[in-house]
Amino acid sequence: ATEVQLASRPQGAPTLENFTVANTAIPSPGEGQLLVRNSVISVDPYMRGRMSDRKSYATPYELGRAMQGGAVGEVVESTVDGFKPGDHVLHFEGWRTHAVIDAKTAVKVDGAVSPLSNYLGVLGMTGLTAYAGLFRVAGFKAGDTVFVSGAAGAVGSIVGQLAKLNGAKRVIGSAGSAEKVKWLVEELGFDAAFNYKDGPVAEQLREAAPEGIDVYFDNVGGEHLEAAIDSMNLNGRIAVCGMISQYNATEPTPAPRNLATIIAKRFTMTGFLVGDHYDLQAKFVAEVAPLVASGELKHSETFVDGIENAPQAFIDMLEGANTGKMLVRV
């Protein structure tokens, strides 16, 4: 078996030296447990936070131990009624080829209904983040103009399309390359998109949304948040999902300089964690799975092969190598 361990805590951007790829014995399941051979594992931005020992909403990874994360795999040994070899399960012991998991934490998934990788992305945690953030947190309604940053990523690409499919007046996305911008407009049906590396975000957003925005779905923070506040209409809503532009920061970053306009513009700004919204899971899957199956909701997965390449996949994801969900095939 092979697992990826945290070797050291990154200062700034993570590097390969922060990880150890270790060979280990195949573990044996105890009472109430399953041995799972992972087939696909997820690498996600929040893992950057867990590599640090700063207090955060997720507990820090332990040095010298395997990292955790979302994964899907096949049960190879079971000591539990209801799970048998050959079943596929979603669980949280990623970053390794073989995982022993408590059966009560495993969720059965069906590869015949959807490709297994989808349970880590569009039909999984990142899809639910988009759904809960847009509808519940931002209170999206038909006629809203929506701006989403990180728009070509796993969460952002679903946010923009859900808004479009549900009657948005206009959907604008920002992303970090010309190809991503083209994908958003030509494939996903965004009304406008821009490359935030091409010039000041505030100017590009004003041009893309001449009548302002009603909802900002923030995946990035920093300059993007300031620009969104600048373009915010009266009674707008900001759902703060992530601030990836700050995850590698070694110093506290400045607040948006225009925050005081929250008063006159009466906009709201609400942070959220997907973990608080799993009551929406069934509704989300019932609504979104048919849209995925029919092709009305498009999604992209970027695959890297080999558990030994998972650290590089994670590093590359933080730098924008992915379109849609970044995944590692084990």
Please report whether residue 175 would count as binding ligand NDP according to CB under 6 A. Answer: yes
Q: Which is nearer to ligand NDP, 116 or 326 (CB)?
A: 326
* Choices 29-37, 149-157, 203-211, 286-294; region in contact with ligand NDP by CB under 6 A: 149-157
Please report whether residue 256 would count as binding ligand NDP according to CB under 6 A. Answer: no
Helices (H), the chain: 46-51, 125-131, 154-165, 178-182, 201-208, 223-231, 261-265, 281-294, 310-318
Question: Which pair of tokens denotes residue 13?
Answer: 């951007």
Q: Which is nearer to ligand NDP, 75 or 227 (CB)?
A: 227
Q: Is 9 exposed, middle or buried, given 0-12, 13-18 or 19+ CB atoms closer than 10 A?
A: middle
Convert residues 95-134 into a mask of x (bound to ligand NDP by CB under 6 A) and - (unbound).
-------------------------------x--x-----
Please report whether residue 228 would count as binding ligand NDP according to CB under 6 A. Answer: no
Q: Which is nearer to ligand NDP, 105 or 253 (CB)?
A: 253
Please report whether residue 274 would count as binding ligand NDP according to CB under 6 A. Answer: yes
User: Which residues 68-87 are close enough to bind ligand NDP by CB under 6 A?
Assistant: none
Question: Which pair of tokens denotes residue 11?
Answer: 């200062």
Distances (CA, A) of 190 to 121, 132, 182: 20, 20, 10
What DSSP string runs through 73-141? EEEEEE-STT--TT-EEEESB-SBSEEEEEGGG-EEE-TTTS-GGGGGTTTSHHHHHHHIIIIIIS---
DSSP secondary structure code for residue 29 in this structure: -
Please report whether residue 242 would count as binding ligand NDP according to CB under 6 A. Answer: yes
Least separation, in Å, of the C-beta of 317 and ligand NDP? 5
Binding site for ligand NDP (CB under 6 A): 44-46, 126, 129, 150, 152-156, 175-177, 180, 196, 219-220, 241-242, 244-245, 272-274, 317-318, 320, 322, 326
